[in-house]
Amino acid sequence: MDINYKIYITSNGFVGEYLKEYFKKNLTEEIDKADIVINTIGILKEEKYTYEQSHIKKLKELLPKLKNKKLIHFSALGSKKEHPSRYHQTKALGEEIIKKNLKNYAILKPSIILGENQKLYKDLEKFKNLPIIFVPKMKVAPVEIEKIAKIIEKIIKENLKGEFEICGKEIVSMKKIFKDGFKKFNKNPIIIEMPKWYFRLLLPILSRLKILSKDEYLMIEDNICKGKR
């Protein structure tokens, strides 16, 4: 990759690890030496940390270190302050904080990101021996992690700013995402799509088993870029 900037990446999750490998020639482990900071901190489910800690507190702690630097920040497609899920609320508040405090930023709002170490696949492995799987009836526009890296490279090279909704070319059901995921384990269970209310009925059990949290339930909806619906 032909860029001369030093890049600092804030976390080691699925996205962060891939980007560290992709930008390894430009990577710095010291934020003070960076020209560009890529903020990949975020959680889908509250376990060790809350949404507020991950999406707002960590971002506020990062802001003083961003003087004369460009921030490339991962938010989420569909995030808005009035959304019923705290995940989307806190992602939207993070975007608002960036817009109020920074001028040189790019906010990425992807649909579901797929790649070899996606946590979804690790979660599916727990259920690989079940004969029947129920999934939410919803559509997504999955984007490969490789495409995300190339978009970031383009943002850096062309000094692009603003918000960017990111979707793959194909709109698919969660049923297909699960079906493709189980193929990685050479499994082909019967996968049945169910409406959102079905998961609401089962939520007390699913949340106790740590399969589906209330917030994850509230996020059951189509996740597609504008103009692709």
| pLDDT in the model for residue 58 | 97
Cβ–Cβ under 8 Å, residues 144 and 172: no
Cβ–Cβ under 8 Å, residues 96 and 154: no
| pLDDT in the model for residue 1 | 56
Q: Average pLDDT in the 94-108 region? A: 97
Q: Average pLDDT in the 102-129 region? A: 94
| pLDDT in the model for residue 116 | 87
CA distance 28 to 26: 7
- HSE-up of residue 180 (Cα within 13 Å, Cβ side): 12
Q: Average pLDDT in the 62-88 region? A: 96
- Percent of the residues in the chain that have a pLDDT greater than 70, as a whole number: 98
- Is 32 a residue whose pLDDT tops 70? yes
pTM over 0.75: yes
Tokens of 175: 């049923």
Measured at the alpha carbon of residue 118, what is the angle toward residues 86 and 36, in degrees to the nearest 5? 75
| pLDDT in the model for residue 229 | 39
- Is 20 a residue whose pLDDT tops 50? yes
Q: pLDDT tier at 2 (50, 70, 90 boundaries)? A: low
Q: pLDDT tier at 162 (50, 70, 90 boundaries)? A: very high
Q: Average pLDDT in the 200-214 region? A: 96
Cβ–Cβ under 8 Å, residues 193 and 176: no
Domains of the chain (ranges plus CATH)?
A: 7-218 (3.40.50.720)
Q: Average pLDDT in the 32-61 region? A: 96
| pLDDT in the model for residue 199 | 97
Mean pLDDT taken over the chain: 95
Q: Average pLDDT in the 21-32 region? A: 96
Tokens of 161: 């700013």
Cβ–Cβ under 8 Å, residues 223 and 141: yes
Q: Average pLDDT in the 86-105 region? A: 98
Q: Average pLDDT in the 133-159 region? A: 97
